[in-house]
Amino acid sequence: MHHWESLVGEQAIPFFRWRWLAALEDSSSISAKHGWQPLHLALWRDDTPVAVAPLYLKGHSYGEFVFDQAFARLAGDLGLGYYPKLLGMSPVSPVQGYRFYVAPGEDEAELTVLMLETIDAFARRNQILSCNFLYVDPHWRPLAEAAGCATWLNQQSLWSADGQSDFSAYLNSFNANQRRNIKRERKAVQQAGLMVSALTGAELDVQLLRCMHGFYEQHCARWGPWGSKYLSEAFFEALADSSLRDQVVLFSAHRESPREPVAMSLCIQDGQMLWGRYWGSKEEIDCLHFEVCYYAPIAWALEHGLENFDPGAGGQHKRRRGFVAKPHASLHRWYEPRMDALIRGWLRKVNPLMLEEIESVNADLPFRVEPAPQLIVE
């Protein structure tokens, strides 16, 4: 843990800190049995680690939220086995920020090349078809691209404060019709007799986190076999530990005590950014999801000076609530020449189309348009 933390540093987002990754493994949420075999890479100089990378051997593509079924089908058409594959990401968390972590004073570009060469040799030795880094840090991406990684662009949702000081300023960023819609949605929750309270840090305990796991489990069950239930109750209990709870924010929708929630969402924060992760509800109440997962977290973020809010995967209903479409990149290496050539050729066509789609999506957002200044000609 000490070596990992010394390289990752206090500036790393919570999802790549050792205590988060260890909680996933110690709770058996992430394990070889569940198709996530930890294979973290460390580069040492004598007795001192100089670089580390979170890495997993995957037996499936669940929990990634970058959908590579087309790659798997292509591999089958070529008579190749797609799994297992190497994967770099924070497990089951579609959060931008993956990178290799390099000690201060080291040549990051040089060590990126060396670590990729180590991964390549491991993959070829073990007949692994691909290595994939998802939701990569934009600052690290050029180093990996220069070392031969192929880039695939997808889109994510992001709200940014952009100088807004409170929820009224957030509301004022929309056109009149959407302001009315948001006010109506929030009023529907109030008329159901509910209020939403944020709980974080010392306010959290094991009982509350078990309650949150119950909501998570219930919400996943609604989707049957597509429910994507990855995390055990033990993982949620671990979030109540003093080393993690300051970064956890629960938004409790309740009638009496916030410790008796009707619905709840779980977010993670680091003082600059908020990430929406899970939610669930005991009752079907109009617009409750929007309040607990979007409006209350945005209000909390503004109150606490956070600049950005990533609400998680998916996007259609998020767009009209101020979440702008942004590109995010995954980086890939394929170890079979035909597969490599075919996908790289496809990426050259689809990446510009994705940027066009993002531009088109954002052009339709219901933001307020300031009238152009009138020119006065004398």
Least confident of 100-104, 253-257, 298-302, 365-369: 365-369
β-pair type (308-310, 48-53) = unpaired
pLDDT of residue 78: 98
Mean pLDDT computed over 324-336: 97
Mean pLDDT computed over 158-165: 96
Domain ranges of the chain: 2-155+326-363, 162-306
Distance CA 14, CA 137 (A): 14
Mean pLDDT computed over 134-144: 98
Answer yes or no: are the C-beta atoms of 155 and 355 closer than 8 Å. no
* Residue indicated by tokens 């009209």: 320
Does the pLDDT of residue 185 top 70, yes or no? yes
Does the pLDDT of residue 167 top 90, yes or no? yes
Q: Which CATH class is domain 162-306?
A: alpha beta
pLDDT of residue 2: 79
Please give the backbone phi and psi of residue 267, each rounded to the nearest 5 degrees, phi first: -125, 160
Mean pLDDT computed over 161-166: 96
Does the pLDDT of residue 116 top 60, yes or no? yes
pLDDT of residue 100: 98
Share of the chain above pLDDT 70, in %: 96
Does the pLDDT of residue 371 top 60, yes or no? no
Report pLDDT digits (tens) over 237-281: 999 999 999 999 999 999 999 999 999 999 999 999 999 999 999
pLDDT tier at 316, thresholds 50, 70, 90: confident
* Residue indicated by tokens 């531009």: 359
pTM for the whole structure: 0.94
pLDDT of residue 10: 80
Fold match between domain 2-155+326-363 and domain 162-306: yes
Neighbours of 81 (CB within 10 A): 12
* Residue indicated by tokens 């010394």: 6
pLDDT tier at 373, thresholds 50, 70, 90: low
pLDDT tier at 376, thresholds 50, 70, 90: low
pLDDT of residue 194: 98
Within 13 Å and on the Cβ side, how many CA atoms surround 351? 14
Please give the backbone phi and psi of residue 272, each rounded to the nearest 5 degrees, phi first: -120, -30
Nearest to 336 by CA among 1, 77, 10, 114: 77
Instruction: Detail the DSSP E strand segments found in the chain.
Output: 36-38, 41-45, 48-53, 56-58, 85-88, 101-102, 130-133, 150-160, 195-200, 248-254, 263-269, 273-281, 308-310, 324-334
Please give the backbone phi and psi of residue 270, each rounded to the nearest 5 degrees, phi first: -130, 20
pLDDT of residue 63: 93
Share of the chain above pLDDT 90, in %: 91
pLDDT of residue 9: 85
pLDDT of residue 35: 94
Least confident of 11-15, 51-55, 111-115, 224-228: 224-228
Mean pLDDT computed over 169-198: 97
pLDDT of residue 370: 61
pLDDT of residue 171: 97
Q: Which CATH class is domain 2-155+326-363?
A: alpha beta
pLDDT tier at 205, thresholds 50, 70, 90: very high
pLDDT of residue 32: 95
pLDDT tier at 29, thresholds 50, 70, 90: very high
- Please, what is the average pLDDT of the chain? 94
